[in-house]
Amino acid sequence: MKIYILGICGTFMAGIALLARELGIDVAGSDAEVYPPMSTQLSDAGIELHDGYTADSLPDNTSVFIIGNVITRGNPQFEYILDNNLPYISGPQWLYENVLKDRWVLAVAGTHGKTTTSSMLAWILHSSGLNPGYLIGGVGKNLTQSAQLGQGPFFIIEADEYDTALFDKRSKFVHYHPQTLILNNLEFDHADIFDDLAAIQRQFHHLIRMMPARGLIIHNSDCPALDQVIAMGCWTECLSFAAEDSTADFSINENNQLTDRNRDQQYDLELAQSGLFNSMNAAAAALAARHAGVPLPVSIESLKDFEGVKRRQEIIAEIDGVRIIDDFAHHPTAIELTLNTLKANTRGRLYAVIELRSNTMKMGIFTKSLMQSIASADEVLLCENQALQWDIHAIAETASTLLLIKPNINQVISHLVKNTQPGDQIVIMSNGGFDNLRQRLINAMQSRQ
């Protein structure tokens, strides 16, 4: 059997490719922009990658084409597939039919923390000897790659609310049919496909009403938007966790203590990852693992050895006393939480380099909240971006922190090389390749020495 994946270097589609390869399927694919860590994983797995979407690169005798949700009408390969009546399917549907339908699916949904929570859960089940399968939109440092079939009944998946494909506008996660579901939080995002928060809540409601009564929903009761989703109709047992809600089944405080209110028991969370939001992620993962049969003390012991996820507050270099950190944050809430945590652990100045890359950010939906989110940084650097539908220069004049707008990446790098000193931290915040800024900055800082 041979499959070909359009948009293969996206985090989800790369996971599909790895799972298909593990099933013994011949896999190849194409993408318009290739960057690590996904491109590295695919190459290491021996999967053939085609740069660009030229129709003549499509192989013959392909059993089915899997279409990523980045593909639009006008894409030369997809137009060829349509013109020649070739078989195609979405990634989520292929995943359910070929991997998930006979597994106990543990899904992690929400606006923030999906990758970290999924990785924590996969690590807990793995270290407990349960050999789970998983597909995660990032690479956990304790795990060898972002996707694995596993051999037991359990399969962990990062459940994204983004749409499935150009021919299926439902959220991806409605295809997964979980038995255990984590709902981390819920905010408005993806303004390119959702009109408002209510539209996203409707998709979460679809997910919940497809769950079996014998399942379990683990939800953050600090989040009113999730409370509203559950109030729309729920036929599955619910378990709540929170940092503030005193009525939650489990609470997490700033000292990283997890309290079981029903049994009046308390557990200390010892994590390498700082910040209350990571403690919340850990608590949700431990509660999901408990539903799969892993006792809470065992999960908490496993989390002591959890090393984190690439591109989530990942220290990628320390040069001449200046630490360079890579982070995936691109939503104002995630930016704010990350900067607050990093500032508390910065001896010198905290520099944030932010790529305004997401469709929602380009549309200007988050302009006001973005200004609030960067307050903890001493200096924020942005690049000129013709794709923006709003004026970044106007916000620079009113920002509460020093906000510099540079014409290109080279100017950003030059500024950092010239001005950073020992004790400073630089965090690069982007959900994409960012014009290879990370390695270029490392090279420039090393040359400064």
Q: What string of DSSP letters covers 169-180?
A: EEEGGGGT--SE
Residue 146 placed within a domain: yes
Q: Are residues 179 and 288 in the same domain?
A: yes
**What does the buried/exposed string (b/e) look like for 346-377 if buried means 16 or more CB atoms within 10 Å of the residue's CB?**
beebbbbbbbbbbebbbebbbbeebbebbebb
Domain annotation covers residue 294: yes
**Lookup: tokens for 305:** 């050895």
pLDDT at 36: 64
Strands 425-429 vs 350-354: parallel, antiparallel or unpaired: parallel
Number of residues assigned to the chain: 449
With respect to residue 184, please indicate whether it lies within any of the assigned structural domains. Answer: yes
Residues 155 and 230 in one domain: yes
Domain of 43, in residue numbers: 2-92
Are residues 73 and 209 both part of a single domain?
A: no
Q: Which parts of the chain sit beneath pLDDT 70?
A: 34-37, 245, 362, 449
Closest residue by Cα to residue 5 from 91, 82, 86 = 91
Cβ pair 286, 124 in contact under 8 A: yes
Three-state DSSP state, 379: strand
First to last CA, the chain: 53
Q: Scan for tokens 């989390």, then name that residue.
A: 303
**CA–CA dist 228, 316 (Å, integer):** 40
CATH (domain of 420): 3.90.190.20
pTM of this prediction? 0.84
Residue 401 lies in a domain: yes
Other C-beta atoms closer than 10 Å to the C-beta of 400 total 11
Residue 37: its pLDDT value, please? 64
Residues paired with residue 89 on neighbouring β-strands, in sequence order: 66
pLDDT at position 405 is 81
340-387 pLDDT tens trace: 888 888 889 999 998 887 777 767 777 777 778 888 889 888 888 877
7 located within any domain: yes
